[in-house]
Amino acid sequence: MNRAILLDRDGTLIHERNYLCDPAGVELERLVVPALQRLHAAGYLLIILTNQSGIGRGLYTEAQFRAVQDELARRLGEHGIPIAGDYHCPHHPTGARGEYLRVCECRKPAPGMVRSALADFDLDPAQTFMVGDTLNDVAAGQNAGVRGVLIRTGYGAEQDRGDGAVVPDHVADDLLRAVEDYILVAASPDLR
């Protein structure tokens, strides 16, 4: 079995820009590069899981979404960071149109994308973490049996004051702090 870090995109890997559809808007969050380099060196697969209701709302196309993903992968690749895979949910239960207007199992906090990644990449849930800037990210991971980490970038600072219904396994100021203070500590000793 493999181990992985499942990563939200907007507000976690890149700056939150509502309904980003232009690759020129891709700007990496602080300390993402050294954090992902540490994880990659420790043998973790890096997989992106992102809600993208802008597709379902008709604000941008699948091709525009893919162009943003490709730009993110290109920028990370410049630092030797490979993205093993990515999953996205274009649905929304109230704001989307047509076939995208529905309750689904893939939109976080539902666990569908996490379960797909676990199966597709033969991931060990005990060695897999879901990291994001919202409690929906944390809940998606926990609902699929993996640990959920909230970081205070993007919406994370306001989400950290949650109502207690979702309790992250760990909270950190940024991705690098999450990696150094929790993920690598929680992993086997040979990864530290």
- 190 belongs to the catalytic site: no
Return the SS3 of 14: strand
Of 10, 86, 133, 174, which residue is the catalytic one? 10
Task: Please give the torsion angle defined by the CA atoms of residues 118, 122, 124 and 130, in that order, rounded to the nearest 10 degrees.
Answer: -30
CB 5 within 8 A of CB 131: yes
For the stretch 136-160, what's the b/e string if a residue is b when 16 or more beta carbons lie within 10 angstroms of its beta carbon? bbbbbbbbbebbbbbbbbbbbeebb
- 8 belongs to the catalytic site: yes
Q: Which two tokens stand for residue 158?
A: 């306001």
Of 8, 86, 137, 174, which residue is the catalytic one? 8
Residues annotated catalytic, as ranges: 8, 10
